Structure 1
Amino acid sequence: MIRPAADPLSAGVHTVEVEGVVLRYHVHGTGPLCVAHPGGPGFAWEYLRMPELEKQLTVVYVEPVGTGGSDRLPSHPHGYTRARYSRHLAAVIDHLAVPRVHLLGHSHGGFVAQYHALHRPDQLAGIVLYDSAPVTGDEHVAEVMRSVQEFAARHAGHPELAAVLGAFAAIPAIADDEAMLATARGVLPAYLADYWADPQRWAPLGESLRATYISGLDEHSAPDQVDDREPLAALAMATLVVAGRHDVVCGVRWAEELYKLIPASRLVILERSGHFGHLEEPGRFADEVAAFVAADHS
């Protein structure tokens, strides 16, 4: 098929206006199409760049509203709900002018992908829930704290451990972009399977991070909580659930629960990864996702 000159899937940076705000997205790679939604909320898309996957798929990296080069809401830092992200995602997918896409959501992007699959299944051929969870709130926070304690026990005595634990303790006080970025860099060693085994490899990841403070509250200052357990049990969509064995944020407990909840799901655990399996085990991650996208889900 010959596409017009203004091809929405040509390699590079694109913009689209949705609900009065301008969103950016980036197209890289070649092959079947996969749309990728980053996490945070508030982390710029670059950390999710997946060069190995781009060798097998065309990846459209969305910059969600309020993040990176996309516009902020007038209510910033509030109002960034899953419903809004999903509406914007729907407009971007429509703009791509393809029948259906595979959607990959990482971390908070997984929460968005779940919501989109439940509310706009007509747009999707399948979803990849990458380091996601079916719930947020107190139960999720308690699991994170348990995982952080395990991380601390594994690295007891390390001279930089106290700084990492201090960064976790500072999370509730984040109130601006500067604090958001500082905290993201501070907790990074806990987000990887073994940061301190090769810190020179991973330090550039922290230095390259860009982050925006997003409150997690809607425009009425109410928390945008997630509890998808009941609806996901009725989700009739092919789903690949991916998690790192050592992920302290959305780890194996949640991946296994998603797998048990969603009828047409497959589970992949990356044994040598934390929260960034696309960087820690790029080859296996890419092969698993590309095979899922290429499969016949009918």
Structure 2
Amino acid sequence: MRYHVAGRGPVCVLHPGGPGIGWDYLRMPLLEKKLTCVYVEPIGTGESGRLPEHPGGYSVDRYVEFVEALLDHLGVPDVHLLGHSHGGFVAQRYAIRHPDRLAGLILFDTAPLAGPEIMVDAAQNLERFLERYADRPEAQEAMATWKALATGTDEEYTASMRGLLPAYFADSRTVEAYDVMRTSLQAWAVTSDEGPWRHHDALAALHLPSLVLTGRWGFICGPRWGQELHETIPGSQLVVFENSGHMGHLEEPETFAAAVTGFVEQNLA
């Protein structure tokens, strides 16, 4: 598994979402001004290796094993772990199993469970997205992509994610790098036979400084789940980005960086 290091300061390991999405969308230059950001390039994607059973076998537990190996390899104390979307599933489970290895947990646009509830909520949020931007071709394309979602091959998954991408933003037209991101976005059709799960009981027993970040207009793993995470994890902090969807680090980068660096500095003071 490859990883990429940028910045200077306390160490924050960042795990992207998907699963199967390239890591580079998660790059955060403003965060790198105050933190050493270690970006995970998850197994099965990009230049990282593939599992012997590829495209299968990519369970949350498997990703957790690789996070553990990475932290062993880095050998640095006081690490914060940030997980975005599906990467937040991985970060939660890692924190539940190895709370002593972390200085803090940062859950960014993710949820405390995986199952049909996520998809029902996402479908409802996508309908609201279409209502807001009914006159925009990209909104129509996102809905059409959702209804005919194809993820069986790398090419199909990449095309689907590019078609859906506008729905991941409160307003993609306000994001300077949107067009470049959409063109360069790559996805790999990794799969897992892991069934639905819930982390609520384990998170309720977690005693680890935790920050929950969510965008008000998130279409998948949106504010409903951020609030639920905050209410479940004892002593957690919640930050809602009022002008963001699923990509608060791109839509409100200054506010996002301030929230994360403030949390890290508070924990290490």
- TM-score range, shorter-chain basis? over 0.9
Match of 1:294 in 2: 265
Provide the aligned C-alpha RMSD in A: 1.5
Return the offset for 1:137. 1.2
Cα deviation digits, residues 208-248 of structure 1 (max 9, x gap): 21211112x2xxxx334331111111111110000111110
Distance 2:23 2:39 in 1: 7
Given the alignment, which residue of 101, 114, 130 partners 1:136?
114
Query: Do the aligned residues in 1 keep the contact of 2:3 with 2:38 (CA within 8 Å)?
Result: yes
Moved more, 257-266 or 225-234: 225-234
Distance 1:116 1:161 in 2: 36
Match of 1:175 in 2: 152
Q: Indicate whether 1:188 and 2:174 are aligned.
A: no
Distance 2:242 2:262 in 1: 19
> Which structure 2 residues correspond to residues 1-298 of structure 1 after superposition, within 5 A?
23-171=1-149, 173-195=150-172, 197-198=173-174, 201-215=177-191, 217=192, 222-296=193-267
Gaps of 5+ in 2: none
Distance 1:224 1:56 in 2: 39
Query: Do the aligned residues in 2 keep the contact of 1:111 with 1:226 (CA within 8 Å)?
Result: no
Q: Which amino acid aligns with 2:144?
A: G
TM-score w.r.t. length of structure 1: 0.87
Query: Do the aligned residues in 1 keep the contact of 2:142 with 2:166 (CA within 8 Å)?
Result: yes
Distance 2:148 2:52 in 1: 27
Return the offset for 1:200. 6.5
Where 2:267 maps in the other structure, the secondary structure is coil
Distance 2:176 2:3 in 1: 30
Return the offset for 1:99. 2.4
Return the offset for 1:294. 1.1
Greater CA radius of gyration, 1 or 2?
1
Return the offset for 1:71. 0.3
Distance 1:127 1:226 in 2: 20
Q: Give % identity.
A: 49
Which of the two has greater helix per residue?
A: 2
TM-score w.r.t. length of structure 2: 0.96
Return the offset for 1:251. 0.9
- The number of residues matched between the two structures is 269
